[in-house]
Amino acid sequence: MTSTTNETINGPDLLDVKDLKISFKTDEGIITAVDGINFSVKRGQTLGIVGESGSGKSVSTWSIMRLLPKNSIIDKSSSIQFHRKDGKKVEITRLKPNGRELREIRGGEVALIFQEPMSSFSPVYTIGNQIIEAVLQHRNVSKDEAKEIAIDMLDKVGISNPRQRFKQFPFELSGGMRQRAMIAVALSMNPSLLIADEPTTSLDVTIQAQILKLMRDLQQDLGMAIIFITHNLGVIAQVADEVEVMYLGKILERGTAKEIIHRSQHPYTQALLKAIPQLDSTGERLTAISGDIPSPLSRPAGCPFHTRCEKVMPGICDVEMPNPTQLSDTHTVYCFLHEEKDV
C-alpha cells in the first residue's frame, strides 16, 4: 500500500500484523478478544488505535510483546512480524515464551507504557533502581554508567532535579512526574517501537497536553514509532499519522488521522467523534454512544456494531461481517453502507 495523499505514511514497515486472533480461556467459556485483524506500523510513525473499553486495543498490542496472561491463546494462523534493529525479521508468535530473543525485544526494541503510572512502578524500589534494571538488562555497561544513562533520561523527559528523583520512590512523585519517569524507563533503551496504552487517560488536561508534547518531541529526537492507544479521538488527532478504529475485536475503519477525523465513513467512528470529551473534562470513559457494549462471551453475528448502529440494515448487517471498502489508498472502511455503493 503506497500513499499519494499523505507521504507521512510511507516508509519501511517495522511491524506487520496479519490475521491476529486472540482468545481467552475463562470459567465462563472462550472469549474472543481480537478477531482476525491486520495492521502495520512504519518506522518513525505513529499509529493511533481508538475504540471503547473492551474493544481489544490492549490485548492486540500487548501480544506484540507476548505479555498476555497464561490463559490467552494466539491463533496458529496469526502472524506478528517485527523487524529488529539488526535488520532481521522475527515472527513474534513463534518465539519461545520468556526466551532470550523475546527478552531482547522486550524493552530493548519494543517498550510499553501504561495508563496508570502509579501501579506500573513497584512501590518498594526507587525510580532509579527500576530504570537501571532496564538498562543493565540490555546494555553491557557498569552500574555507574547505567546510573548516568538513567539520570540523563530523567533529565530528557523533563524531570527537574534528576539526581534527586533518581533516589526517590514512586509514591514520592506526582502523577505527571511518574508518567514522565515511566516514559524515561521505556525510552532508556532507545526502542524502535513504543506502545503507549492510554498514557494520558489518568492525568488532568494540562499535564496530558505536556505529556503529549513530550512524546512528540522525543519521537522526533529518537525516531521511534509509536502505537498510541486511547478512547479519545480528540487526542488521536494531535498525535497520530494513521488511525485504526476498533470495536469488539475488529477493526471497523482505518485511515490517516485527517481522513478519520474529517471524512469518517463508519457510523461507529462518527459516533465516537460526536462523543469526544469536552476539553475541560479529564479524558473520562466514553458514555455518549447509546446502547450497551455486548458481552464478549456472546459476540453478535455479522458486523459487531450492528446492535447499536443507527443505520443498521436488518438482514444484512447481522448476517455477515462486511468486506473492506477502499475509499482511498489509505482509507478503508468495513461497512455495508459503503460496500453497496461499490456494487
Residue 331: closest CA among 46, 58, 57, 4: 4
Q: Which is nearer to Mg ion, 56 or 162 (CB)?
A: 56
Among the residue ranges 76-84, 109-117, 295-303, 304-312, the one whose residues contact another protein (CB under 8 A): 109-117
Q: Is 200 in the site for ligand ATP (CB under 6 A)?
A: no
334, 253 Cβ separation under 8 angstroms: yes
Q: Which does 216 bind (CB under 5 to 8 A by kind): ligand ATP, Mg ion, another protein, none?
A: none
Question: Cell numbers at residue 48, please?
Answer: 493511533
Choice from 137, 190, 210, 307 touching another protein (CB under 8 A)? 137
Q: Which does 24 bind (CB under 5 to 8 A by kind): Mg ion, ligand ATP, another protein, none?
A: ligand ATP
d(CA 119, CA 181): 13
Q: Is 255 in the site for ligand ATP (CB under 6 A)?
A: no
Helix (H, G, I), strand (E, B) or coil at 251: strand
Q: Which is nearer to another protein, 119 or 326 (CB)?
A: 119
Q: In the block, which residue shows the cell 524493552?
A: 107
Residue 7: closest CA among 40, 38, 45: 45
333, 316 Cβ separation under 8 angstroms: no
Q: In the block, which residue shows the cell 453478535?
A: 300
Q: Is 112 in the site for another protein (CB under 8 A)?
A: yes
Q: Is 140 in the site for another protein (CB under 8 A)?
A: no
Among the residue ranges 26-34, 105-113, 155-163, 242-250, the one whose residues contact another protein (CB under 8 A): 105-113
Q: Is 191 in the site for ligand ATP (CB under 6 A)?
A: no
Q: Which does 49 bind (CB under 5 to 8 A by kind): ligand ATP, Mg ion, another protein, none?
A: none
d(CA 270, CA 108): 38
Q: Is 128 in the site for another protein (CB under 8 A)?
A: no
Sheet hosting strand 242-247, strand order edge to edge: 110-113, 193-197, 225-230, 46-50, 242-247, 250-256, 332-334, 324-326
Site string for ligand ATP, 31-70 (x = CB under 6 A): x-x-----------------x-xxxxxxx---------x-
Taken in order 47, 52, 58, 59, the sign of the CA dihedral is negative
Contacting Mg ion within 18-77 (CB under 5 A): 58
Residue 199: closest CA among 162, 255, 238, 251: 238
26, 71 Cβ separation under 8 angstroms: yes
Kindly compute the dihedral angle of the four CA atoms of residues 280, 283, 284, 287, in this order, to the nearest 10 degrees: 90
Q: Which does 114 bind (CB under 5 to 8 A by kind): another protein, ligand ATP, Mg ion, none?
A: another protein
Choice from 75, 116, 329, 339 touching another protein (CB under 8 A)? 116
| Residues near Mg ion (CB under 5 A) | 58
The site for ligand ATP (CB under 6 A) is made up of 24, 26, 31, 33, 51, 53-59, 69, 71, 231, 296
- Residues contributing to the site for another protein (CB under 8 A): 65, 67, 69, 98, 103-108, 111-112, 114, 116, 119-125, 130, 133-134, 137-138, 169, 171-172, 182, 185, 189
